[in-house]
Structure 1
Amino acid sequence: MASNQYILYLVGFILLLHSGYSSFEFHKFQSHSTSNLKISNLPLDISIEAIIGFIIIIIGSIKSIENQAYLSINNEIVNDEFKYLKSINLSDSFQIGEKIGITEFEELDSRLPFINIGKIRKEYSDWINEQEKGGKIE
């Protein structure tokens, strides 16, 4: 038996497919119509059907965000403590960051894209030249 979210995906997809086909038929009918009265907007029922289809697909995708059970090394099925995403304890994450020496502003402090490679190469070549003059290259 299929689970609920796949049924919701299927129903939403069928509604979107039907509203798309109805829209195609409506525009073909408008283009072949002999009357001077042209309606530029889609009928309300086609628009509502498309919106309901999108909403059903979104509900199915939200319903499918669950932690899956996994198989342990002892061949036992283990369910996660939380049904959905685990909560994050911010104090723990800050403590880990402090232990390894990073801050929340690490991207702004290091700025790797702004390293002057030419300057570093020049310093390295100067150091090599000093080592060669002194006769001690390690």
Structure 2
Amino acid sequence: MSSVLYIVGGVLVLHAAYSSMEFHLLAKSMHQECTFTTVPSDIIHETVYGLVLIILGAIRSVRNEVAYTVEGSESSEGALKGININVAVKQDHEYLRPIEMKRAVAVSERIGLNDYAEFESRVDFVDLVEKRKEFNQWSEAQ
């Protein structure tokens, strides 16, 4: 369904662009540049309808597909013990699943992120008094 909306919306937008080009070429050939400054309303409506259909197609295409997981029933093959690879799992939610904060926080702690990482990793402030002394010493040496 979403691909049909994309195609119809794209055709409408392309037709509106072509109609606008034809309109401006006709106005230019008739030497009436001042009187035909605005595009006719049917072209504007066609453009808006086409864009709305493209946006609706984009919204309709956001769906959770069947995913594959590495977590599952236990396996008895040494290194893969406890892991069952390529098991198809149907998502519980149609669109986006809720974020499990416990898991998200655990992952961010494992990779070393925290809430104050921006402040802890910024460049130190420049000591202006020290820089002025260095500049004065350099200028006197010259």
* Residue pairs, 1:1-138, within 5 angstroms: 4-34=1-31, 38-70=35-67, 77-90=88-101, 92-94=103-105, 97=108, 102-111=113-122, 114=123
Q: Specify every segment of 5 or more residues in structure 2 that has no aligned partner in the other structure, as ranges.
A: 70-83, 125-142
Deviation string for 1:28-50 (max 9, x for gaps)?
Answer: 11001155862101011101110
Report the CA distance shift for 1:31/1:78 in structure 2 as closer, same or farther (over 3 A): same
Distance apart, 1:69 and its partner CA? 1.1
Quote the Cα distance in structure 1 between the aligned partners of 2:90 and 2:29: 59
Structure 1 length-normalised TM: 0.65
RMSD (Å), alpha carbons: 2.8
- Report which stretch shifted further, 46-55 or 32-41: 32-41
User: TM-score when scaled to structure 2?
Assistant: 0.63
SS at match of 2:94: coil
Change (3 A) 1:37 1:96: closer
Counterpart residue number, 1:123: none
More strand by share: 2
Q: How much identity, in percent, do the aligned residues show?
A: 32
Instruction: Specify every segment of 5 or more residues in structure 1 that has no aligned partner in the other structure, as ranges.
Output: 116-138
One-letter code of the match for 1:63? R
Structure with more of its chain in helix, by fraction: 1
| Superposed structure 1 runs of 4+ greater than 6 Å apart | 72-76
The equivalent of 2:131 in structure 1 is: none
Q: Which moved more, 1:55-64 or 1:33-42?
A: 33-42
Number of aligned residue pairs: give it.
Answer: 110
